[in-house]
Amino acid sequence: MRPNSALRKMRAGQPISVGWLVAGSPLLAEAAARVGFDALLLDTQHGYWPPEALVNALQVIGPTETVPLVRVLRNEYHLIGRALDDGALGVVVPLVNSAAEAKAAVQAARYPPAGARSAASARVRYYGEDYVQQANSEIMVVVMIETREAVGRVEEIAAVPGVDCLMIGPGDLSLSLGCFGAPDAAHAAAIEGVIAAGRKAGVSVGMACGGPDDAVRRAEQGMLFLAGGSDWGWAIGGAQAHLAALQAGLGAL
C-alpha cells in the first residue's frame, strides 16, 4: 500500500502542513495538490462538497505526493467508511467528546480485528493490492477537541488505541467556553491541556490555525498537525492583492 507520508512524519515528531479545501472544486483541489502541502483536508462538515465532487477531488489528489484527508460531517460509521472507500487516506472527525466517541471513530476507520470497517471498495485498490492488509497502519484518524466537555475528558480520549491526532477546533472551543471571538485565559489553558494530554499519551496534537504565523507559534508549542489557509481564503486574498495592485497602478497614471 502507498505509505501515508503525512502520518509517518507526525509519528517521527515532524510537523505537517495541511491545506483546507472548502469550495467544492476538484479543479482547485488538483492545483492545490501540486503546491507542496503534506496533506489536503476536504471539509464536508462546513465546506461545499457534493458526493461526486468529493470523489473527483480524491481522484486528482490521490496520484500526487499530497495526502488526501476528509473531515466527515459527523461521527458516524457509514460516513467515515464512505470517505475512506472514496479514497481518503485519513479522516478528521468533528466534535468528539468522550472516549466512547473516539473509539467509535477508530472502529469505523479500521478493518477487523482492530475495528469494524467493511472491505468492499474498488477505488482503494489504486493505493496497492495489499490495501486491506496494510490500511490499519496507514490510515490517519484525527479526532477534534472542540468543547468544554472534550477538554475535560481529553486524557481519556487520547488514550483510545488507534487515535493518531487530537485536533483542536479553536472557534467551537471558544464558543463552548463562552469567549467566542475573544479567546481568553481559559481558552489558552484548555489548549495547553490538550497539548499535555497528547504528550502524555504519545499522540500528536494539531489545530485549525489562523495563518502561517499562528501555525508556527503552535508548532513551537508542540503541535504537529498544522491546518490553516483555505482555497476560499486563497482565492479572496489573491483577488484582493490583484485588485490593490491594479488600482495602485491605475492611480499612478
Catalytic residues: 46
Place of cell 461521527: 75
Alpha-carbon torsion (85, 86, 91, 97), positive or negative: negative
| DSSP 8-class letter at 236 | H
- Rounded to whole angstroms, the Cα distance separating 33 from 29 reads 6
CB count in 10 Å sphere of residue 211: 11
Instruction: Name residues whose C-beta falls within 8 Å of residue 202's C-beta, 6 or more positions apart in sequence.
Output: none
Measured between alpha carbons, how far is 7 from 63 in angstroms, rounded to an integer? 17
The single residue listed with the C-alpha cell 472542540 is: 146
What is the CA angle 13-102-43, rounded to 5?
75
Distance between CA atoms of residues 19 and 238, nearest Å: 16
> DSSP characters for 27-47?
HHHHHHTTTT-SEEEEETTTS
Alpha-carbon distance of 64 to 16, in angstroms, equals 16
Per DSSP, the three-state class of 209 is coil
